[in-house]
């Protein structure tokens, strides 16, 4: 979705590479994969592609702003999956309950809100770039 917003052709390999981000990075309950995905998007926009290039400082500005905003607006003070969803991904019974109880819809809500926040920030950057 971010690639489309950036006017890039969807890259199947990139999408596949983000698979292990789910359930808080490799089902560890750590940082929410939505946060990591958003940071990867800022890398697509601002990061260097060759060692001799300099990093664009806007990468850090937008990445940090996203993390702050996610924590405040979406995550109730956290960016950790275990805090957001309340699942111990190593506990098979909790994982089974997550999928069967509809609790996964909460995860989908976080994904939608994170995508909306990311889209707002990309729009803000595009607007500032034109000014």
pLDDT score, position 15: 79
65: domain range? 2-130
What is the C-alpha to C-alpha distance for residues 126 and 6, in angstroms, rounded to an integer?
A: 10
| pLDDT tens figures, 118-129 | 999 999 999 988
Q: The pTM is what?
A: 0.87
Q: Which helix (H) or strand (E) holds 122?
A: helix 104-130
Angle between helices 104-130 and 57-69 (to 10 degrees): 140
Where does the pLDDT of residue 130 fall: very low under 50, low under 70, confident under 90, or very high at 90 and above?
confident
Residue 11 pLDDT greater than 90, yes or no: no
- Between these two residues, 3 and 7, which has the higher pLDDT value? 7
Split into its structural domains, the chain has a count of: 1
Q: Which of 10-19, 104-113, 121-130 has the lowest mean pLDDT?
A: 10-19
């Amino acid at each position: 979705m971010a690639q489309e917003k950036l006017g890039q052709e969807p890259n199947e390999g990139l999408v596949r590479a983000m698979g292990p981000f789910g359930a808080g990075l490799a089902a560890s309950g750590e940082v929410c994969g939505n946060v990591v995905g958003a940071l990867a998007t800022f890398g697509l926009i601002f990061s260097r592609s060759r060692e001799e290039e300099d990093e664009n400082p806007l990468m850090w500005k937008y990445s940090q702003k996203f993390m702050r905003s996610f924590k405040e607006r979406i995550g109730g003070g956290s960016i950790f999956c275990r805090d957001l969803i309340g699942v111990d991904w190593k506990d098979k019974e909790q994982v089974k309950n997550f999928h069967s109880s509809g609790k996964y819809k909460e995860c989908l809500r976080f994904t939608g809100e994170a995508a909306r926040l990311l889209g707002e920030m990309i729009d803000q950057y595009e607007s500032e770039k034109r000014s």
